[in-house]
Each structure stands twice: as structure tokens, then as C-alpha cells.
């Protein structure tokens, strides 16, 4: 698959010319093998080491005081509800056990589709990461699952007050919704005057892990697949797809060995596909963490 995210974060605009006009078609081309290394080679490269001895103010995975994290979580929760309403996402419904698939059951997303293959990949990744952390920590994650009436849903796994981690979360989600046309144009850089809501599909995996030991860094990542469809009844309507995301390491105390391992792992994944990926997308990540009018990092 083409590994070209439009941006490192939802708040940044996508560069023009980085989107395919059509999602991957298994009818036109044999499906390539999807792995965490291939489907996320670019967003994994969008990584940077960010020391945050002082309290951070904008970093996606910075160490904050307990009160600051609580206020941030409340703010994000309210903001998420507003965004959900703005883009036409249905309210979630809690369920007792996660289904085998969070995709719609109308048959449109068959097992060979990129939607189904990406969901399978992130579900497997969630299982593998949770198993590794549970073995390291000796504590268990708690799982909450939900679905939405029109399709999609999510699985949240959280470990709290463990032996190694104060808190760790690994979440996956599948979303079907309606995107305002202005939001689509902002995300893709395309022009137009259409007013019709644009159907979209999104799936992703995200994680934040806070260790108890201040000598160990906090880590964050999110990787996602996004696809838009044509508005009902529209001709020659926009249809695009892309992978996106990023990862960052936030140490309170910097150890050069940690930084070398972090960036070396990401570079190794990128170099399997193109040696130019890592330096290019590392620069994107560095630019993301700069407040332009201050010419300083977001911390």
C-alpha cells in the first residue's frame, strides 16, 4: 500500500498532491501484504524525541501534572463530542464483548478490502502490544467495547496502577461518518464549492503509556487509515484515501541510548521501503513540534 499520510496530526493541513483519487483496489492490482511495518512506514518515521522536564503545553505525549491531565482529558472529551456531531458520527453503544469485526455487515467491506485488512492489522497489533505489556508489568488490562448503530465501533484497553506503568492504554476504533465539504477540502488541499456532506471511513490504533519510573520515558503513537466516498447521487465526486499518524517519545531525563534505539527502530522500518522516507518525515515531525511565531518547541 501507498504509505503517505496527509499530516502528522488532525490539526495540521495536508500537503497537496499526497492523496490517491481511489482507494486500493484488489480488482485492479493484487493486494500487497499488509504489515505494521509496511502500512505505517511513513507515520512511524514521523517521530521525534521531545524532552519535557518542564510542564508541556502542546505536546501530544508530554509529561504533565495529574491535575493538568485531568483537565486535558475533560476538554478532549467535550471536544470529541462536538467533532462527532460536526462530522455526523453516531453515538456509541457499550457492549459486553468485542465482535469479531467492527465493520458494517452489509458485505461491502469484504475480507480482501483495505478496510478489512487494516482493521485486522490493528486488532492484531492491539493484542500483541497488550500481551507484551501485561507480561512486563504483571498486571492486566481492562477492556471496554462499543459499537455504533450504522456500523463501526471501538475497543479500549487500559491498565492502571500497575507495577511498571502508572497508566497505559491501547485503543482501536472503526468509524463511519459524514464529513463537511470544507473539512474535506482542508484535508486534501482540493478546491471546489460543493455543499454535500462526504461519507468517510476511518480506522486506527492509538496508545499512550506512562511509566511510574521518571527515568523511563512516556511514549505515544497513533496510526490510521482514512477513506472518503462519493456523496449520494453525486457525479465525479471526490474520493481519496491515505495513511497517517505518528509517534513520539517524551523523557523526563534524556538517555542517548533510548533516543538511538527509538529512532533506529523507526528508520529501520522506513528503510525497508525507501531510504528517503525517514529523513523526510522526521523533518515533518520536527516542524510539527515548532510554534512558528516563537520559533521554539511546543513545551
Q: Which residues are catalytic?
A: 220
**What is the DSSP annotation of 241-288?**
EEEEEEEEEE-SS--HHHHHHHHHHHHHHHHTT-TTHHHHHHHHHHHH
User: Do the Cβ atoms of 117 and 101 come closer than 8 Å?
Assistant: no
* Nine cell digits for residue 55: 510542564
Distance CA 182, CA 179 (A): 8
C-alpha–C-alpha distance, residues 245 and 206, integer Å: 9
Task: Give the Cα separation of 163 and 137 in Å (integer).
Answer: 5
d(CA 237, CA 118): 24
Q: How many CA atoms lie within 13 A of 121 on its CB side?
A: 22
Provide the CA 237 distance to its chain's centre, in angstroms.
26
CB neighbourhood size of 38 (10 A): 16
Helix H segments across 35-162? 36-39, 41-45, 66-86, 114-137
Contact 139, 130 (CB under 8 A): no
Amino acid at each position: 500500500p501507498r504509505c503517505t499520510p496527509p499530516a502528522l496530526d488532525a490539526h495540521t493541513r495536508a500537503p497537496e498532491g499526497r492523496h490517491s483519487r481511489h482507494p486500493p483496489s484488489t480488482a485492479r492490482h493484487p493486494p500487497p501484504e499488509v504489515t505494521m511495518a509496511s502500512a505505517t512506514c511513513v507515520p512511524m518515521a514521523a517521530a521525534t524525541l521531545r524532552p519535557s522536564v518542564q510542564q508541556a503545553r502542546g505536546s501530544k505525549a508530554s509529561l504533565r501534572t495529574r491535575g493538568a491531565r485531568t483537565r486535558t482529558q475533560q476538554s478532549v472529551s467535550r471536544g470529541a463530542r462536538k467533532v462527532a456531531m460536526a462530522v455526523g458520527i453516531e453515538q456509541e453503544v457499550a457492549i459486553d464483548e468485542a465482535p469479531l469485526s467492527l465493520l458494517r455487515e452489509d458485505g461491502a467491506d469484504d475480507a480482501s478490502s483495505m478496510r478489512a485488512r487494516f482493521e485486522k492489522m490493528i486488532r492484531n497489533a492491539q493484542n500483541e502490544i497488550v500481551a507484551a505489556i501485561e507480561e512486563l508489568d504483571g498486571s492486566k488490562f481492562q477492556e471496554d467495547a462499543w459499537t455504533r448503530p450504522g456500523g463501526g465501533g471501538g475497543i479500549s484497553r487500559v491498565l492502571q496502577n500497575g507495577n511498571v506503568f502508572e497508566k497505559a492504554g491501547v485503543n482501536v476504533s472503526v468509524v463511519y461518518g459524514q464529513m463537511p465539504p470544507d473539512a474535506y477540502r482542508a484535508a486534501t488541499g482540493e478546491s471546489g464549492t460543493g455543499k454535500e456532506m462526504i461519507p468517510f471511513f476511518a480506522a486506527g490504533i492509538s496508545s499512550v503509556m506512562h511509566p511510574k519510573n521518571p527515568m523511563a520515558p512516556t511514549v505515544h503513537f497513533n496510526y490510521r487509515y482514512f477513506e472518503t466516498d462519493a456523496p449520494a447521487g453525486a457525479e465525479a465526486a471526490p474520493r481519496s484515501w491515505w495513511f497517517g499518524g505518528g509517534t513520539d517519545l517524551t523523557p523526563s531525563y534524556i538517555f542517548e541510548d533510548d533516543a538511538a534505539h527509538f529512532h533506529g527502530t523507526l528508520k529501520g522500518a522506513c528503510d525497508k521501503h525507501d531510504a528517503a522516507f525517514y529523513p523526510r518525515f522526521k523533518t515533518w515531525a520536527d516542524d510539527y513540534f515548532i510554534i512558528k511565531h516563537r520559533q521554539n518547541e511546543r513545551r
